[in-house]
């Protein structure tokens, strides 16, 4: 094993511009994000291995020269093309855009995508490039949580309605009990009165009615 304390050999440091191709190829080969480079017509000129795998393609070279219309449904492909035309026209990037990708075979994925203008050494825009991260698992978890919340809200609403119904029935029962008690009391009082007393009650009621 090399001695880390030893003085490293005085090898010349390679220039970054000389490593451009090597750096790009290493990035495309090893990145866990989808990376792509496109020309002015939105044709792929370079893609990462991960993007090819995500699309179910073994060799990234199979996608070179193709566009999103060859891979995704028309709606997503058109949206992507519109974004790239705007970037080419303005030079302004689009960052962190949530996209719903639907492949031609119906498979759906959610991704966060950032796109920028691809420029030549002279600064001329010669295409676009971008990177996207698959967040399908995260979105599916969000959808599941939202569905659970909806079901919980509906269950709570139904439980609340049931509680209200129980309270209403309870109140009705109390009222009926009160009516029954009052009726029973009146009957008992009437039964306790003798005929002469009942006559006096009738006269009193008639007198009150005339005064009203």
149 falls in which pLDDT band (50, 70, 90)?
confident
Q: How far is CA 5 from CA 11, 156, 184, 192, in A?
A: 17, 69, 107, 118
| Average pLDDT value for residue range 66-78 | 94
Please give the residue that has the higher pLDDT: either 92 or 199.
Answer: 92
pLDDT at 89: 97
Q: Is it the case that residue 97 has pLDDT exceeding 60?
A: yes
Three-state DSSP class for residue 49: helix
> Rounded to an integer, what distance in angstroms lies between the CA atom of residue 93 and that of residue 128?
9
What average pLDDT is seen over the chain? 79
pLDDT at 154: 76
Q: Is it the case that residue 161 has pLDDT exceeding 90?
A: no
Please give the residue that has the higher pLDDT: either 132 or 21.
Answer: 132
Give the predicted TM-score (pTM) of the model. 0.62
pLDDT at 83: 97
pLDDT at 62: 93
| Average pLDDT value for residue range 97-109 | 90
pLDDT at 144: 81
Burial of 80-103, coded b for 16+ CB within 10 Å and e otherwise, reads bbebbeebbeeeeeeeeeebebee
Q: Is it the case that residue 19 has pLDDT exceeding 80?
A: no
Any idea how long the chain is? 212
Q: Is it the case that residue 6 has pLDDT exceeding 90?
A: no
> Rounded to an integer, what distance in angstroms lies between the CA atom of residue 106 and that of residue 171?
57
30-39 pLDDT tens trace: 988 999 999 9
């Amino acid at each position: 094993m090399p001695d880390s304390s030893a003085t490293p050999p005085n090898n010349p440091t390679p220039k970054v511009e000389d490593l451009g191709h090597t750096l790009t190829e290493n990035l495309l080969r090893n990145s866990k994000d989808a990376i792509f480079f496109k020309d002015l017509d939105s044709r792929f000129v370079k893609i990462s291995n991960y993007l090819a795998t995500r699309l179910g393609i073994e060799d990234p070279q199979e996608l070179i020269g193709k566009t999103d219309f060859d891979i995704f449904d028309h709606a997503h492909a058109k949206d992507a093309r519109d974004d790239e035309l705007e970037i080419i026209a303005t030079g302004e990037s689009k960052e962190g855009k949530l996209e719903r990708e639907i492949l031609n075979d119906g498979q759906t994925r959610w991704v966060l995508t950032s796109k920028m203008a691809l420029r030549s050494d002279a600064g001329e825009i010669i295409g676009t490039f971008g990177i996207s991260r698959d967040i399908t698992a995260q979105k599916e978890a969000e959808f599941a949580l939202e569905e659970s919340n909806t079901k919980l809200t509906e269950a709570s609403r139904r439980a609340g309605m049931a509680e209200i119904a129980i309270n209403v029935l309870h109140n009705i029962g109390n009222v009926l009990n009160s009516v029954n008690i009052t009726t029973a009391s009146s009957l008992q009082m009437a039964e306790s009165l003798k005929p002469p007393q009942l006559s006096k009650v009738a006269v009193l009621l008639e007198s009150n009615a005339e005064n009203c």
